[in-house]
Amino acid sequence: MALARVQNFSISLDGFGTGEGLTADAPFGHAGERLHEWMFATRWWSGPGGSGGVDDLFARQFDAGIGAEIMGAGKYGPAGWHEDPDWKGWWGPNPPFHTPVLVLTHHPRPPLEMEGGTTFRFLDASPAEALEAAREAAQGKDVRIGGGPTVVRDFLAARLVDHAHIAVVPILLGRGVRLWDGLEGLESDYRIETIPSPGGVTHLTLTRV
């Protein structure tokens, strides 16, 4: 059975998955890239000079066995991107997904085929409907719930996530968008494990029981 998975989703110690003040030049607002430095430092990301330990093991699960991603409108672009017909995401001509990507938006537009196998499809749907569409697009592979924080939270709240990997970075952002809001009692339905990395990041895994 193909799974719905969250991979490499990074939050601060105080629970923020993104900062405040998101713009086209600052996709994570005042957080900058601080939530993701652990991942950039891995061999998976940066090649032979990178770290080869537990951070790398987790990072590599990002695309292993993944056939499609679901992302929120806030991950695809800065507020108002739907008014710009030329907006094609932050990632340039060859985005790092290499699968169909379903973008949840109240302003659907025609599909957008990029280089490298990424196709953005836009749909206005509930989490359950989106997951059904993504499973079909994934053709038997797993579906990654790609974020942002609100989307991960909504899928967790609906118990649609089978397995989640959350990386807790030891910084305090103080403001932004929280991952854990409104998830009281989640531990009843997920087994939670903690794996610290020598680099300072703490990896959490949540596995639906």
* Binder of its own copies out of 2, 60, 78, 180 (CB under 8 A): 180
Residue 3 sits in the site that holds its own copies (CB under 8 A): no
Measured CA to CA, the distance from residue 176 to residue 156 in angstroms comes to: 19
Between β-strands 112-113 and 119-123, what pairing exists: parallel, antiparallel or unpaired? antiparallel
Is residue 115 close enough to count as binding its own copies by CB under 8 A? no
Q: What is the DSSP string of 47-99?
A: -TTSB-SHHHHHHGGGTTTEEEEEEEHHHHSSTTGGG-TT---SS-SS-TT-S
Please, which residues bridge with residue 102 across strands? Answer: 70, 121
* Residue owning tokens 């939270």: 153
185 binds its own copies (CB under 8 A): yes
Q: Contact region for its own copies (CB under 8 A) — 8-16, 36-44, 116-124, 137-145?
A: 8-16
Residue among 89 and 176 whose Cβ is closer to its own copies? 176
Structure tokens at 205: 């895994």
Provide the minimum distance between the beta carbon of 35 and its own copies in the complex, in angstroms, as a whole number. 12
Q: Decide if residue 186 touches its own copies (CB under 8 A).
A: yes
173 binds its own copies (CB under 8 A): yes
Instruction: Please report the sign of the dihedral spanned by the C-alpha atoms of residue 138, residue 144, residue 145, residue 147.
Output: negative
Fill in the per-residue mask, 125 to 164: x = in contact with its own copies (CB under 8 A), - = not in contact. ----------------------------------------
Q: What are the residues binding its own copies (CB under 8 A)?
A: 13-15, 170-175, 180-187, 192-196, 200, 202, 204
